[in-house]
Amino acid sequence: MEWKETISTAISALNARRMRSLLTMLGILIGIAAVMLTVGLGQGASASITSRINALGSNLIVVTPSQSTSSGGFRGGGGSVSTLTTADATMLADKTVAPDIAAVAPVSSTSGSLQSSSTTWTSTVVGTTPDWLTVRARTVSTGRFFTTDELDSSSNVAVIGSTTATELFSDGSPVGQTISINGSSFTVIGILNTQGTSGTSNEDDTVLVPLTSYAARLSTSSNANSISSIYLSGKDADSLSAAYQQVKTALLASHGVTSDNADFSVSTQASLVETATSITGILTVLLGGIAGISLLVGGIGVMNIMLVSVSERVREIGLRKALGATPGVIRQQFLVEAGILGTLGGLLGIAIGVTGALILTPIIGISVAISIPATLLALVVSLGIGLVAGVYPASRAAKLAPIDALRSE
Amino acid sequence: MSTMLHMTDVRKTYATGVVQVEALRGVDLDVAEGDYLAIMGPSGSGKSTLMHIIGCLDVPTSGTYLLDGTDVSQMSEKQLAEVRNRKIGFVFQQFNLLPSLTALRNVELPLVYAGVPVAERRERAMAALDKVGLAERVQHRPGELSGGQQQRVSVARALVTDPALLLADEPTGNLDSHSTAEILELFAELNEAGRTIVIITHELEVAEHAKRRAFIRDGLLNATDAVLGGVH
């Protein structure tokens, strides 16, 4: 029996029980769409996080304070006292200590209540050095950044993000205006370029002031020299791992600790990306696995309906056998029916998955990645599920004795 | 005339649980080419079992069965399917047409399994339907045809492969007297044209149209006309 004949026979058999065929396909449809969306969402989230981490700057190294794991003695009492100080930053800026480091930006931050002549706004206030621009790969769109002189003289100058600028000064240029930060007056000298959000923080809603001014007027910490993190940029991508080692070695030596009880942690952009993608990867596998279970249930639905179909069509099978259909031909006919159920369900599932991705992307702000290979894979998987689900019912049909089949009413 | 169907000491035993039922207890049967035989018998006589074996729907437990010179008594499922396809045309009491297919597609079905190309298949099915007088009804589905017409479609289906044997199992059992007469007339014409026919029936009026009659009782075949009076 030719393929064309087998397929048209299968389609007319499915068409004769249209409602049931559609409901059976629904199981595969939901499974395929769910797998496509969850995996696509995971990949989209991963890509989005990676691009945001990369946007933090190029060849970035971040030093953050951390709890040491072995020396428990002085924990808890200090509250949020950081183990990093401006002295660490100064040391790392020394070319003899860390030759592969191009720029060092110590950072200290707090939440600040801002006030302009017309309105108030709450934002993140960051104390840092002029190197911050280089390290974070940012530029100033209007005005200028503060200088080393202003840093040294603890000037009351501030550079604000574009969102902050819009919120505080709805009309007119903010540059040259005076704002009050937690009660201290600062003059706005520049506005940062627009960057977008990073993780949970909006990079465009921030106020940058010289670290010295921050320490003198804004710091809430008991130690004025304490800083919350140090951003460094390596000279180039090739020497980044060398730079990473230099930073780590220098800090271990100056803090008098070993890497087992280090009170800080050093991450490179690559390691941040790796951590983030491994987390989204695990989530994707988890969610995709749950969606995969629904696909499995859909497959069981196909098997179930094929079994029902075989027992309903015992007479037809008997007649076809009497007219010369071999067991192989009967098996093939039912396998093709199950395969078509799976494939059509898969095609509809892909359509729903792609539509869902297009609808969800603007709503959740993360692009849901749907790739051509993944789509083809989904199609092959749905065909495979149909065929596997059809094997048992088809062999039941093939094994029916023609006399029993003809006798049945 | 050559022998179309030759059975020697055919036995069929069914095991239902612990009880062995001997449905056929040594049947000898010869049907020559061009013969028209009616096999009669009450229910439970082994009539259906004999029909299944003649039709290659089942194999005997022992004994030999030559159909058109080929021993089919030891064949596999697959081989039997091929023999049924090429050598036997079935006509059933219930017509057994597929309701979703047109008359033409129903008649084409055996040719589909024989692997005949589409164009030739269509042509032969049309010719077979023309032979049974249904050339005008080829696109009708079984539900749109009368019982007599449906049975004529199934006769066309039985003839389309040009089989060695036309095997009819109570072909008039579901028909009114008018349709019965039509079908029996059709069988007579086919036999006159040289077709070998075996008809299984319990109706004497039907059996009387055949050239020969055989009577089965308790799994044994008696091939004389003398016992016909005891059928009812």
Residue B52 touches chain A, beta carbons under 8 Å: yes
pLDDT in tens, A246-294: 898 888 888 888 888 888 888 888 888 888 888 888 988 898 899 889 9
Record: contact B85-A2, CB cut-off 8 A:
no
Are both A101 and A45 inside the same structural domain? no
A59 falls within a domain: no
Q: How far is B96 from chain A (nearest CA, A)?
A: 7
Distances (CA, A) of B106 to B111, B122, B178: 10, 11, 24
> Across all residues in chain A, what is the average pLDDT?
86
Q: How far is A6 from chain B (nearest CA, A)?
A: 10
Nearest to A326 among B78, B86, B98 (CB): B78
A295 falls within a domain: yes
Are both A346 and A221 inside the same structural domain? no
DSSP string, B72-131: -TT--HHHHHHHHHHHEEEE-TT----TTS-HHHHHHHHHHHHT--HHHHHHHHHHHHHH
Distances (CA, A) of B201 to A166, A381, B208: 99, 53, 11
Report how many domains make up chain A: 2
Strands A157-160 and A206-210: antiparallel
3-state secondary structure of B178: helix
Residue A353 — pLDDT band, cuts 50, 70, 90?
very high
The amino acid at residue A88 is D
Locate the chain A residue with the closest alpha carbon to B56.
A322
**Residue A298: count of CB within 10 angstroms of its CB:** 28
Q: How far is B41 from chain A (nearest CA, A)?
A: 18
Rounded to whole angstroms, the Cα distance separating A320 from B164 reads: 19
Are both A101 and A151 inside the same structural domain? yes
Q: Is the pLDDT of residue B31 over 80?
A: yes
Residue B145 host element (H or E):
none
Residue B35 — pLDDT band, cuts 50, 70, 90?
very high
For residue A35 the two structure tokens come to 């797998």
A118 falls within a domain: yes
Are both A101 and A238 inside the same structural domain? yes
Rounded to whole angstroms, the Cα distance separating B213 from B204 reads: 10
- Domain endpoint, select from A228, A262, A296: A262
B117-154 burial: b if 16+ Cβ within 10 Å, else e = eeeebbebbbebbebbebeebbebbbeebebbbbbbbb
pLDDT in tens, A75-122: 444 444 578 888 888 888 888 888 888 899 999 988 889 988 888 899
Chain B positions touching A16 (Cβ under 8 A) are 100
Rounded to whole angstroms, the Cα distance separating B94 from B110 reads: 18
Chain A positions touching B57 (Cβ under 8 A) are 322, 402-403, 406
Are both A41 and A92 inside the same structural domain? no
Q: Is the pLDDT of residue A69 over 50?
A: no
Locate the chain A residue with the closest alpha carbon to B58.
A403
| Residue that has been written with the tokens 């794991």 in this structure | A69
A33 falls within a domain: yes
Nearest to B57 among A12, A329, A403 (CB): A403
3-state secondary structure chain A: CCHHHHHHHHHHHHHHCHHHHHHHHHHHHHHHHHHHHHHHHHHHHHHHHHHHHHHCCCCEEEEEECCCCCCCCCCCCCCCCCCEEHHHHHHHHCCCCCCCEEEEEEEEEEEEEEECCCCEEEEEEEEECCCHHHHCCCCEEEECCCCHHHHHCCCCEEEECHHHHHHHCCCCCCCCCEEEECCEEEEEEEEECCCCEECCEECCCEEEEEHHHHHHHHCCCCCCCEECEEEEEECCCCCHHHHHHHHHHHHHHHHCCCCCCCCEEEEEHHHHHHHHHHHHHHHHHHHHHHHHHHHHHHHHHHHHHHHHHHHHCHHHHHHHHHCCCCHHHHHHHHHHHHHHHHHHHHHHHHHHHHHHHHHHHHHHCCCCCCCHHHHHHHHHHHHHHHHHHHHHHHHHHHHCCHHHHHHCC
Are both A100 and A185 inside the same structural domain? yes
For residue B87 the two structure tokens come to 């050598």
Q: What is the pTM of this model?
A: 0.75
pLDDT recorded at residue A254: 87
State the sign of the Cα–Cα–Cα–Cα dihedral A119, A124, A126, A132.
Answer: negative
Record: contact B85-A329, CB cut-off 8 A:
no
- Domain endpoint, select from A233, A262, A291: A262
Nearest to B84 among A5, A12, A324 (CB): A324
Strands B196-201 and B36-40: parallel
| Residue that has been written with the tokens 């492969």 in this structure | B161
- Within 8 A by CB and 6+ apart from B81, the residues are A321, A324, A325, A326, A327, B113
DSSP single-letter state for residue B188 = H
Chain B positions touching A320 (Cβ under 8 A) are 109, 113
Locate the chain B residue with the closest alpha carbon to A313.
B98
Are both A105 and A134 inside the same structural domain? yes
Q: Looking at residues B150-173, what average pLDDT do you find?
A: 93
Residue A382 — pLDDT band, cuts 50, 70, 90?
very high
Q: Looking at residues A336-356, what average pLDDT do you find?
A: 94
Rounded to whole angstroms, the Cα distance separating A374 from A350 reads: 10
Residue A371 — pLDDT band, cuts 50, 70, 90?
confident
Q: Is the pLDDT of residue A199 over 60?
A: no
Are both A390 and A342 inside the same structural domain? yes
Locate the chain A residue with the closest alpha carbon to B84.
A324
Q: Looking at residues B145-157, what average pLDDT do you find?
A: 94
Record: contact B55-A322, CB cut-off 8 A:
yes
Record: contact B78-A327, CB cut-off 8 A:
yes
pLDDT recorded at residue B224: 60
Chain A positions touching B100 (Cβ under 8 A) are 12-13, 16
Record: contact A319-B85, CB cut-off 8 A:
no
Record: contact A326-B77, CB cut-off 8 A:
yes
Locate the chain B residue with the closest alpha carbon to A402.
B57
State the sign of the Cα–Cα–Cα–Cα dihedral B132, B133, B138, B142.
Answer: negative
Interface test with B, best of A316, A323, A330, A407 (most B CBs within 10 A): A323
Nearest to B112 among A1, A16, A326 (CB): A1
A57 falls within a domain: no
Chain B positions touching A1 (Cβ under 8 A) are 112-113, 115
Closest by Cα among A295, A300, A366 to A29: A295
Q: Looking at residues A211-232, what average pLDDT do you find?
A: 85
Are both A216 and A108 inside the same structural domain? yes
The amino acid at residue B225 is D
Rounded to whole angstroms, the Cα distance separating B25 from B186 reads: 34
Closest by Cα among A218, A396, A233 to A312: A396
pLDDT recorded at residue B227: 42
What angle, 0 to 180 degrees and rounded to 10, lies between the N-to-C axes of helices A327-364 and A18-55? 40
pLDDT recorded at residue B223: 66
Q: How far is B226 from chain A (nearest CA, A)?
A: 32
Residues facing residue B29 across a β-bridge:
B7
Q: How far is A22 from chain B (nearest CA, A)?
A: 19
- Domain endpoint, select from A262, A296, A316: A262
- Per CATH, is B37-56+77-230 categorized as 3.40.50.300? yes
pLDDT recorded at residue B64: 93
A58 falls within a domain: no
A61 falls within a domain: no
Record: contact A324-B52, CB cut-off 8 A:
no
Record: contact B92-A406, CB cut-off 8 A:
yes
pLDDT recorded at residue A71: 45
Which residues, numbered 147 to 206 in chain B, qualify as contacts with chain A under a Cβ-Cβ cut-off of 8 Å?
157, 161
Phi, psi of B74 (to 5 degrees): -120, 20
Residue A347 — pLDDT band, cuts 50, 70, 90?
very high
Contact B97, B106 (CB under 8 A): yes
Domain boundaries, position A331: 3-52+275-407
Rounded to whole angstroms, the Cα distance separating A212 from A89 reads: 13
Q: How far is A38 from chain B (nearest CA, A)?
A: 42
Strands A101-115 and A229-234: antiparallel
Chain A positions touching B58 (Cβ under 8 A) are 401-403
Are both A251 and A139 inside the same structural domain? yes
pLDDT recorded at residue B150: 94
Rounded to whole angstroms, the Cα distance separating B127 from B107 reads: 10
pLDDT in tens, A297-312: 999 999 999 999 999 9
Rounded to whole angstroms, the Cα distance separating B191 from B159 reads: 12
Q: Is the pLDDT of residue A389 over 80?
A: yes
Are both A353 and A246 inside the same structural domain? no
The amino acid at residue B184 is L
Q: What percent of chain A has pLDDT over 90?
A: 37
Q: Is the pLDDT of residue A201 over 80?
A: no
pLDDT in tens, A117-161: 888 899 999 999 999 988 888 889 889 999 999 999 989 999 999
pLDDT recorded at residue A268: 86
Nearest to A324 among B82, B92, B100 (CB): B82
pLDDT in tens, B61-83: 999 999 998 999 889 999 999 99
Record: contact B100-A324, CB cut-off 8 A:
no
Record: contact A325-B82, CB cut-off 8 A:
no
Locate the chain A residue with the closest alpha carbon to B95.
A319
Q: Is the pLDDT of residue A1 over 80?
A: no
A268 falls within a domain: no
Q: Looking at residues A347-368, what average pLDDT do you find?
A: 89
Are both A385 and A340 inside the same structural domain? yes
Record: contact A319-B82, CB cut-off 8 A:
no
pLDDT recorded at residue A76: 42
pLDDT recorded at residue A200: 52
Chain A positions touching B84 (Cβ under 8 A) are 321-324
3-state secondary structure of B9: strand
Chain B positions touching A321 (Cβ under 8 A) are 81, 84
Rounded to whole angstroms, the Cα distance separating B75 from B92 reads: 23
Q: How far is A2 from chain B (nearest CA, A)?
A: 7
